[in-house]
Structure 1
Amino acid sequence: MSDDFDAIVGDIDDELDLTLYADAAELAEEVTVQILAAIEKGLKLKSQFHLVLTGGTLGVQISEALVNEFNADSDGFAGLHIWWSDERFVPADSVERNAFPFHKTVTNTKIVIHEALASDVAKSIDEAVSDYDLALENVDIDLNVLGLGPDGHVASLFPGIADIDDHRKVFAITDSPKPPAVRVSFTMSLINSAAEVWIVAAGESKADAVTKIIEGDLSIPASYVRGNSHTRLIVDTEAFFSE
């Protein structure tokens, strides 16, 4: 981890906006509403809005709720682009894909969905990385919603193997400690380029990582997350209150 991180971004405690909800269900519901509000506001201000989503239990719940909202308003959301901060290099129809809730389910043709190439489409993980990297060229991310692993990882940036100072946009992981081993992931540089970054976490298993983020413990990648204009940590009571 970079020793000069504090010197670069300042005191992490002063810049972190903490929101607490009763449980995971309330969190997912409220975050979905807030994402929709952010999209609506963003599209009114400019012609495009780039939203980055995540996987995991919470990520899937939020994604499924968003798909329902998008499909219910077939004339809305023109200019919305959907991305994922990491993706598993498995077949396109695999439920392991973070993009799976959006895969062939969105009937709203106004929305542009950017899935990383799957293992049955790309010849190699390097091709998938190159394709995603090219698609992200000149893209300004408005909102990146990140999940949080119990070990403090975000996207596929795992403790001990994540290069926080990597200035590329995306890169290949071939030895992820959490299967599947092969993935495409945003770098911390690209994550932090977003205007807003929201970290969402629910459940007792996330409590240790949440505490480390709040305390500015730089032993985990999640503590390095810092949006361009706004950074939020959105948790439920189980993830916030640890024994």
Structure 2
Amino acid sequence: MTTPAPWPYPFWIAHRGAGKLAPENTLAAFRRGAAQGYRMFECDAKLSADGVLFLLHDDTLDRTTNGQGIAGNQAWGALAQLDAGSWHSRAYAGEPLPTLERIARFCLRNLYGLDIEIKPTPNLEGATGQAVATLAARLWQGAAVPPLLTSFKPESLAGAQQAAPHLPRGLLLDTLWDGWLERARQLGCVAIVCNHALWDAATVAQAKAAGLRALSYTVNDEWAAQRLIDLGTDGVVTDRVDLFSPAAR
């Protein structure tokens, strides 16, 4: 059995800033999650056409902004003008897309943890991983707790590993595809972040025997959270920042 690396992160992680309570992946969402007592957040990062890292989950702008089309095909100057709040509610009208650097500085100044999901535009997997890791290494230089870099795309994690091998990485899984554990090892990962339904006693034991932490997304029900606690997992990403107290286990 491999001894896992020290784990500096809290158990509860707020999904996209504040789950559903504020427009996802905005500074307003991070502030709302922090007001609920959360001290670690998850966000999605991708590259603009001119190389600026910004927060957005989808490939396209249509669902969560007043823009249209592939987000990664547009320059940051255009993306920065978009309204990323009105889709959620009138109270957040005019909320902009934030750069990853802006969110990072907010977290650093408040000593919050950050799980950065590398969410590349198709065909930019490696480049996005390299860019995220390079920026994170610069911003968190000397910080006590580094960000956790995660992705569903092994190519993105490989890019991050190449750019900043000292930063912790986690492989995201929506299925337990053949070779997942060996691939995580090859990528130097410290964690597996699964769809919560994939974890059982055997898979948790398998991950931990390899020295990997076991995290879950997106856990929004008390029964599911309790099952994961009973399995001895190490963290959950949740939308229900209004339901789960981050001070409790």
What TM-score comes out, normalization by structure 1 length?
A: 0.35
What TM-score comes out, normalization by structure 2 length?
A: 0.34
- Higher RCO (C-alpha 8 Å, min separation 6): 1
